[in-house]
Copies of this chain bind each other. A is one copy, B any other.
């Protein structure tokens, strides 16, 4: 199987779940009456902020790294990441006992850079552009022979991310909706594969910041558009939509909606206040979609995958 061009199957997600089962947490699902009252539905949150390394990204990285042959593994792994994927690769490599190299842009939060280093990975800094990330990564790959673990445009990573939805639907089988944020599309595409193979009907909704809406535009146009992204407080969603991810999203996702920066920030704060759980700004995108009535879930059950809880606590998004 070519991990860069072949779409993973539901069977690959089941295999991923088996492969990572001893290493990843089965994270809790919580409810909070405030969100039910505000939406008229019953809202469930799958808490991947309580996952290893504080983010769902551990699932995909762990599946990819545990899938490597011993020959591949001994040369190590490398990736580029503004944060959570870097931590995920660093920690999964540590579990396998191999070296990880993580290329991180200047804007990556200090907390995430320190965490990656803390897991024993080699951090290589680059500039904030995608071009710089890729050229610095190429150097690392050429020098080390390491295997590149793409943050999202990789069948093994997508299958790994799908395991969150697998657990979610195992715990709440009659969800009418699953909402996830979409950046590169790893989580949304993995979730969609699982939802379309669920015995009951589940509508899968991607949610994206208005200012970084390449997935929304691609979905609506039916073709992969990657230009024209701006800035967002949801730093985990700045990546552009992947190729494999677009193909799956185009095929299996029901809709993508966008939300404003203001809605993201206020929804994040509301979630902190109501649940006492720390979530990073990206997580607040699907919450904002519900609180701003972008999707009508009245009388329905809606599940949101809370993607991570890593952020710089020195300055919160509502503190200007």
Contact = CB atoms under 8 A, between A and B. Distances in A.
A269 B316 contact: no
A2 interface: no
A221 interface: no
A-side interface size class: 10 to 19
B49 A276 contact: yes
A107 to B, nearest CB: 20
A309 B318 CA distance: 18
Interface string A41-62: 0000000011000100000000
Contact of A276 (B269, B278, B318, B319): B278
A276 B273 CA distance: 13
A313 B269 contact: yes
Nearest to A314: B319
B309 A276 contact: yes
22 contacts: A49-B276, A50-B276, A54-B276, A111-B273, A269-B313, A272-B278, A272-B313, A273-B313, A276-B277, A276-B278, A276-B279, A276-B309, A277-B277, A277-B278, A278-B278, A313-B316, A313-B318, A314-B318, A314-B319, A315-B319, A316-B316, A319-B319
